[in-house]
Amino acid sequence: MQNEGMQTTPAAFDISAKTHNPNAGLRGNYADMAADFTVRQHVGDYTSEEQARWLRLVARQLALLPTRACREFIDAVAKLDMQRGIPDFATVNVALNAATNWQLVAVPGLVPDDVFFTHLANRRFPVTVWLRSEAEFDYIVEPDIFHDFFGHVPMLFTPVYADHLQAYGHGALKAKRLGGLDWLARLYWYTIEFGLIRESGEIRAYGAGVLSSPKELIHALESAAPRRRPFDVMTIMRTPFLIDDVQSSYFILESFEQLHHDTAPDFTPYYTALRNA
């Protein structure tokens, strides 16, 4: 379901046309998935090479977290014990369900927008089951299990963030009906994927795309190049993003309560203002 005008999600992520032909350049086995695009995670099927690659990816990123990741992320990582190997989602779900009543669902890779947002609206986070190849060790366009699990899962243990993400899912389904998803997708990208937060006067990362990439974590926090701007919903919705390179703008929250509060209103008038701009 192509959207008029701008893509809802960038071309590389717009898979609606490709889902009917899962071999069209998309990773993952979509053949035996359920109607909601979920699959089983056969945690015993990962090869020893993949387990070793996972450990190298985790070790490299853990070393960069001190002074760069927000406190909530660091505390959750300590409990997730990712250095033991590729996590079993069923095991993580016991702790996650107890912490914020969320659960991880295994998916073969990118899923269509409305499927993705319906999962979020029901406190289910889709986590890709396959791991990048050795050639993609430093960079991968579409999300793999390292991006999804290492990047996104720790923040799901923070209640106010978890509540926001569910509200985002509801909001995105509504935005799609109102023709506003192109703008609301930017909010997802500048928070859930590339978000920064001020913590005790210092800037820290909470965005999954930043926290799962060595290059972007350094760029977002330490490079002189990008603009680091105060979080503002309308400014964000007016700011296009890049998926295949580091960002030229990052937005800084004062708190996760700010994120939840500022995104609570009905966005219908915001879309009208953006459309008339």
Residue whose token pair is 């069923």: 90
Contact status: 188 vs ligand HBI (CB under 6 A): yes
First-to-last CA distance in the chain?
26
Residue 16 a catalytic site member? no
* Residue 55 or 140 with smaller CB distance to ligand HBI: 140
Contact status: 110 vs ligand HBI (CB under 6 A): yes
In the three-class reduction of DSSP (H, G, I as helix; E, B as strand; rest coil), residue 11 is classed as: helix
A 10 A CB-CB count for 20 gives: 8
Pick from Fe ion, ligand HBI, none: which does 107 bind, CB < 5 to 8 A by kind?
ligand HBI
| Of positions 80, 86, 96, 107, contacts ligand HBI by CB under 6 A | 107
Residue 136 a catalytic site member? no
Contact status: 105 vs ligand HBI (CB under 6 A): no
**How many angstroms separate the CA atoms of 149 and 208, rounded?**
9
Residue 193 a catalytic site member? yes
| Of positions 110, 165, 208, 237, contacts Fe ion by CB under 5 A | 208
Nearest approach, Cβ of 262 to Fe ion (angstroms)?
21
**Cα distances (angstroms) measured from residue 221 to each of 113, 147, 151, 162, 224:** 30, 19, 16, 24, 9
Query: CA 261, 199, 205: angle at the middle one, nearest 5?
Result: 85
Contact status: 113 vs ligand HBI (CB under 6 A): yes
* Active-site option among 212, 213, 216, 260: 212
Residue type, 108: P
**How many angstroms separate the CA atoms of 123 and 210, rounded?**
23
Contact status: 151 vs ligand HBI (CB under 6 A): no
* Residue 81 or 216 with smaller CB distance to ligand HBI: 216
Binders in 138-177 for Fe ion, by CB under 5 A:
143
Contact status: 111 vs ligand HBI (CB under 6 A): yes
Within a 13 Å sphere around the CA of 208, how many CA atoms are in the beta-carbon half? 24
Residue 152 a catalytic site member? yes
Q: Of the ranges 75-83, 89-97, 136-144, 252-260, which one interacts with Fe ion (CB under 5 A)?
A: 136-144
**How many angstroms separate the CA atoms of 228 and 249, rounded?**
6
Within a 13 Å sphere around the CA of 86, how many CA atoms are in the beta-carbon half? 25
Tokens of 205: 């990362």
CB closest to ligand HBI, residue no: 116
Pick from Fe ion, ligand HBI, none: which does 111 bind, CB < 5 to 8 A by kind?
ligand HBI
Residue type, 251: F
* Active-site option among 50, 72, 142, 152: 152
Query: CA 226, 230, 236: angle at the middle one, nearest 5?
Result: 80
- Contacts to Fe ion by CB under 5 A: 143, 208
Q: Which residues are catalytic?
A: 147, 152, 193, 212
- Contacts to ligand HBI by CB under 6 A: 9, 13, 107, 110-111, 113, 116, 126, 128, 143, 185, 188
